[in-house]
Structure 1
Amino acid sequence: MIYDALVEILRNRVPIGVLRTESLEVQFDSTAEVMRGLRITAAKDPVMNNQMIFNQFADRIRPALIIDGQKYPLGVYMIYTNEEVLSEHGSVDKYEAYDETMILKMNKFASRQFYAAGTQYQNIIETLLVQNGLSNYVINDETSYALSEDREVKPGVSHMEFINGLLDEMNYEHIYTDLSGTIHIQRKVESKKADIVYSDERNFAIEGNIDYTTDIYGLPNVVVGYTSNPDTHETLRSEMVNDSPMSKISTVSRGYKVVKMLQFSDIASQDVLDEIVKQEAVNSMQATEAVAIRTAPQPGHEFKSMVNLNTKLLNGLFLEKGWTLSISTSSGSMSHDLERKVYV
């Protein structure tokens, strides 16, 4: 297969030019605040480097993976840094870019912000997105959850931190963008269906060792969630105890308690708190198996894709926490960070 990359310059979502890319690296990390990152080395182009043509502050760039002439999107990014490298062979531009949620991280509340009790979470989030010029978003799961008490946000808190905090209170995923650049707001969902399959018959190889977590002794067998806010008249509480004799880490098997406390200044409802505590209790009964693999570039890797490994060395369904795709001189590679949970 022949691999290549195309990087378009967008203005108001419309292509106005192309960067002459020499190499490209796209990273996705579902545990990061801004999940998508991009590094590009591009040949110096006197036309495209004209600020009238390429406004690096306002324009966006849209990379795509090309496999045997077929184009696959890799997201939409805003330039964060630009380094010009000079040599006797010419000069190149090195760009570092991130998806548009970076705007939410850079923007902070300049003064105290007040939200009245009864204000819906979704309305707050949508208002902040629009105020930041981020109109390309989708609410995958509509909700009528509302603040139970008045909320005051201190100066200096980033819009990203505040929004993700609200999403935590609803038991939603943190804000992220997809391969088309669209921002998503959605509930936490655990998929059991494989999105991508790697087998011995394909271009597949395991890189390094399989790392198993061994610190199962610190896993809790009691999970308690509660709201703690001096301005709140009602305190919500939820608790789950692992007392199963079939579990190695239960209160019965251990003979003692290991307690994990989850504290919230507010929560969408008692049902949401119960759901969060139950989810954490289930997670606490599982150890993590992690593996790094390296493959040929493949399109379609999205937020928390499920990967099915079918090889002589390893089989099973894994959650893809992150990946890195690199393209240079008609060749490419892709590394993947996978994990799965096993009950202990």
Structure 2
Amino acid sequence: MSFRYELLSSTNVKKADLRTVTAGSVEYNSLADIKRTAKFTIVDDGSINFLSDRIKPYARLKMPDGGYAEWPLGVFIPTTPPRKADVADVVTREIEAYDLLQVLVDDKVADRFTLTTGANYIASVKSLLDGAGIASQNLTTTDKILPADRDWDPGTTKLSIINDLLGAINYRSLWFDENGVAIAQPYVTPEVRASEYVYRDDDSSVIFPNVQHSLDLFALPNQWVLYVSEADRAPLRSVYTNSSPNSPTSTVNRGRTIVAAPEQVDAADQATLDALTERRAFESSQVYESVDFETAIAPYHSDSDVYTLEFSALGLSAKYSETQWDFELKAGGRMRHRIRRVVSV
């Protein structure tokens, strides 16, 4: 395995191969606002315009025929760190870089931003992306429209507005794929998604020892309340109670109700609010069971992958959703994973 780097323009068009990177790493956190980040050590020869250029790393695997299979690892906006010179007068920079969600964090509305009743949610997201100069988009369409006017204060980031709109129709938060394409998709619980691949501690295992598993159910709620309260529309309320006899944390098995703090949200209608409440219940249950482990580098991982982990020493054999991964851009490096178990409670 090896790595190569491309220097892109502000519109993601390749300008040149970047041959001055001496080290790097990539990290993905599906729970963060800016999900994909990177670090690069470069020899500064003046080839990068830090005000507009972007960096796109690739992982490469040499094939038996001498060619390479390649995986892009993201499109990154570099910061402008200090220049350092060593004893041999070689000038380097230690760069921190962020995926294109940074564009939507930096781009804020200058005045109060209002969307009127009847505006289509995804059309509004597209308009915000277009206005921020994000041309590459893959947005799942919807027929849902705003049931009432909605506005945001001056200074609100476009990312916050977009994620508010996506959350109101039960979509995942916005993310960018490995090629810098903006993705907006309906949320689907990991338990109903198919497992994409398997990590198994067998004779051909790529899993390193020291797998860590944690589970804490002590304060896990078994009832969730979400509501919509706006001056110009009828109030909506949704309650989801876990009363399943098959769940160890349910009201039935615990003999008591543990209520999560009621939460005010924006939802297009009652059906969406009910779906959001069920989603809150599912996501709240996930945070208490996790596995941390290391493997050889697998550069095909992306956003919130769902896969099966089988690790006999800890009795693990189930489907999990990945929340975080990272690895250094060097041959022989290790990839660190944090996953959550997909459970129904």
State the TM-score, normalized to the length of structure 2: 0.88
CA distance in structure 2 between the aligned counterparts of 1:247 and 1:134, rounded to whole angstroms: 44
1:261 Cα deviation (Å)? 4.3
SS state at 1:205 partner: coil
Deviations 1:50-81 (A, max 9, x none): 4xxx3222222111012224322111111123
Map of 1:200-211 to 2, 5 A cutoff?
200-202=202-204, 204-206=206-208, 208-211=210-213
- Compare the two structures and name the one with the higher strand fraction: 1
* Residue range with higher mean Cα deviation, 154-163 or 87-96: 87-96
Residue 4 of structure 2: aligned partner: 6
1:158 counterpart = 2:152:
no
1:245 Cα deviation (Å)? 4.0
C-alpha contact 1:207 1:292 (8 A) present in aligned 2: no
CA distance in structure 2 between the aligned counterparts of 1:288 and 1:302, rounded to whole angstroms: 23
CA distance in structure 1 between the aligned counterparts of 2:285 and 2:31, rounded to whole angstroms: 21
CA distance in structure 2 between the aligned counterparts of 1:326 and 1:207, rounded to whole angstroms: 19
1:218 counterpart = 2:239:
no
Q: Which letter does structure 2 place at the counterpart of 1:320? A: E
1:40 Cα deviation (Å)? 0.6
CA distance in structure 2 between the aligned counterparts of 1:114 and 1:181, rounded to whole angstroms: 28
Q: Figure out how many residues of one structure are paired with residues of the other and give that number.
A: 332
Residue 77 of structure 1: aligned partner: 76
Residue 87 of structure 1: aligned partner: 86
CA distance in structure 1 between the aligned counterparts of 2:344 and 2:109, rounded to whole angstroms: 43
C-alpha contact 1:81 1:97 (8 A) present in aligned 2: no
Deviations 1:286-334 (A, max 9, x none): 6732111111112210111123223433432221111112123x43221
SS state at 1:218 partner: coil
1:83 Cα deviation (Å)? 3.2
Q: Which letter does structure 2 place at the counterpart of 1:130? A: D
1:127 Cα deviation (Å)? 0.9
1:187 Cα deviation (Å)? 0.5
SS state at 1:217 partner: coil
C-alpha contact 1:228 1:263 (8 A) present in aligned 2: no
CA distance in structure 1 between the aligned counterparts of 2:151 and 2:106, rounded to whole angstroms: 20
Displacement over 4 Å in runs of 4+: 282-287
CA distance in structure 2 between the aligned counterparts of 1:72 and 1:287, rounded to whole angstroms: 30
State the TM-score, normalized to the length of structure 1: 0.89
C-alpha contact 1:148 1:266 (8 A) present in aligned 2: no
Unaligned runs of 5+ in 2: 63-67
Q: Which letter does structure 2 place at the counterpart of 1:201? A: D
SS state at 2:159 partner: helix
CA distance in structure 1 between the aligned counterparts of 2:178 and 2:2, rounded to whole angstroms: 17
Q: Which letter does structure 2 place at the counterpart of 1:7? A: Y
Deviations 1:205-248 (A, max 9, x none): 3454523222x23222222221022x233111111222334433
1:171 counterpart = 2:165:
no
